[in-house]
């Protein structure tokens, strides 16, 4: 596969043997300033600048670029995988086409939501325009990731709102007979066609559960959920296993260690694990510009500890996405650290 390149995206100008991981990071257009290309990298991180159905704060479409720009500030020594950068990590340049289509779809979505707030039915043309644009985005992500996976690459995804990984997980499902999803989020995202949008950010887990290869959904940090979603979780039996933020904190207050709680969470996962990480699952101080911030949440160190336990248990991370990174410098910094940790753990 030949991924696009551009003059400002030319990490090949520094040869691998000349690259100094201890030197100051330089913005060469690639994540972390690494000297890899689409051909030489083992892991491809696709940026998807999309937030057509966002229902609160806008700005997450700019999250992928925020992550890329902030990533050069990250030191490359990782305690779990000290030479993790050597696997080769490459982020293709963002396609302007998707930013433009996102804005067009976003305008139509605003009209749909404005009509709903006024108690009026949405225009069918607006609703159809949004759903068609989201389907096009999903198909692009699907085709890109499927080709990369078939070519032996590992794939990560950074958004954008939480609707973006549907195409990726569809591609994984074609190649993987059974896997589970570790879902870190403030929201359950189990609404069916929220606000009329088939591919709403609030519907991503509902849509992913339509794939029979997804054997279990383990949700961690949930603290903003509606009655219908709770009912769906209960009706799903053991296919959906929730770990509500309130319960996790009550256990901590009662003396149950985070180590013990992580062991319980990990035990619910199958051997192959896809990680879907919405940054609003964290304490909002870490991601203040995320699309739908919610008080409470996890500390970044707690999530990294949980992810580490997944690997130490003998389970394998087969893919990941990071979504809802806001348009802020600090948000990009935190997002870049999450991407690097997931990249290292997936290969360690």
- pLDDT at residue 278 in the model: 97
What are the domain boundaries of the chain?
11-347
Token look-up 């700005």 returns 59
Strand partners, 224: 187
CA 201 distance to own-chain centroid:
11
Query: How many CB atoms sit inside 10 A of residue 13's CB?
Result: 10
Q: Nearest CA to 4 among 34, 47, 42?
A: 47
Enter the tokens of residue 176: 């993987």
- pLDDT at residue 328 in the model: 94
Three-state SS letters, the chain: CCCCCECCECHHHCCHHHCCCCCCCCCCCCHHHCCCCCCCCCEEEEEECCCCCCCCCCCHHHHHHHHHHHHHHCCCCCCCCCCHHHHCEECCCCCHHHHHHHHHHHHHHHHHHHHHHCCCCCCHHHHHHHHHHHHHHHHHHHHHHHHHHHCCCEEEEEECCCCCCHHHHHHHHHHCCCEEEEEECCECCCCCCHHHCCCCHHHHHHHHCCCCCEEEEEEEEECECCHHHHHHHHHCHHHEEEEEHHHHHHHHHCCCCHHHHHHHHHHCCCCEEEEEEEHHHECHHHCCCCCCCCCCCECHHHHHHHHHHHHHCCCEEEEEEEECCCCCHHHHHHHHHHHHHHHHHHHC
Q: Nearest CA to 96 among 127, 141, 50, 128?
A: 50
Mean pLDDT by 10 residues, the chain (348 residues): 42 72 91 96 96 82 95 96 96 88 86 80 84 93 98 96 96 97 98 87 96 98 97 97 98 98 98 98 95 94 98 98 95 98 94
The answer to whether 122 and 116 are in contact (CB under 8 A) is yes
Fold of 11-347: 3.40.800
* Cα angle, residue 201 at apex, residues 200 and 206 outer, rounded to 5°: 75
The answer to whether 321 and 158 are in contact (CB under 8 A) is yes
Strand partners, 216: 180
Strand partners, 157: 46, 321
CA 122 distance to own-chain centroid:
30
- What pTM was estimated for this model as a whole? 0.93
């Amino acid at each position: 596969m030949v991924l696009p390149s551009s003059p400002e995206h030319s990490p090949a100008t520094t040869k691998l043997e000349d690259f100094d991981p201890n030197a100051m990071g330089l913005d060469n257009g690639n994540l972390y300033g690494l000297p890899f290309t689409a051909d030489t990298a083992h892991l491809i991180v696709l940026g998807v600048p999309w937030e057509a159905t966002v229902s609160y704060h806008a700005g997450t479409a700019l999250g992928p670029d925020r992550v890329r720009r902030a990533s050069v500030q990250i030191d490359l020594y990782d305690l779990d995988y000290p030479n993790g950068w050597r696997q080769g990590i490459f982020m293709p340049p963002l396609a302007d086409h998707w930013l433009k289509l996102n804005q067009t779809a976003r305008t139509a979505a605003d009209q749909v939501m404005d009509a709903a707030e006024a108690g009026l039915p949405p225009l069918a043309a607006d609703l159809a325009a949004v759903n068609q644009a989201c389907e096009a985005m999903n198909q692009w992500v699907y085709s890109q990731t499927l080709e990369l996976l078939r070519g032996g690459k590992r794939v990560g995804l950074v958004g954008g709102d939480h609707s973006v990984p549907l195409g990726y997980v569809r591609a994984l499902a074609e190649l993987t007979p059974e896997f589970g999803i570790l879902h870190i989020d403030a929201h359950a995202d189990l609404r069916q066609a929220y606000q009329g949008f088939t591919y709403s950010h609030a519907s991503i887990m509902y849509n992913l559960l339509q794939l029979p290869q997804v054997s279990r959904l383990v949700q961690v940090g949930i603290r903003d959920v509606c009655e219908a979603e709770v009912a769906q979780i209960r009706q799903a039996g053991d296919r959906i296993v929730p770990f509500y933020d309130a319960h996790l904190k009550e256990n901590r207050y009662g003396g149950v260690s985070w180590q013990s709680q992580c062991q319980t969470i990990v035990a619910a996962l199958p051997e192959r694990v896809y990680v879907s990480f919405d940054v609003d699952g964290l304490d909002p101080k870490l991601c203040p510009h995320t699309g739908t911030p919610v008080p409470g949440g996890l500390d970044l160190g707690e999530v990294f500890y949980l992810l580490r336990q997944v690997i130490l248990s003998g389970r394998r991370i087969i893919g990941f996405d990071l979504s809802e990174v806001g348009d802020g410098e600090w948000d990009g910094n935190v997002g870049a650290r999450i991407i690097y940790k997931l990249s290292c753990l997936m290969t360690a």
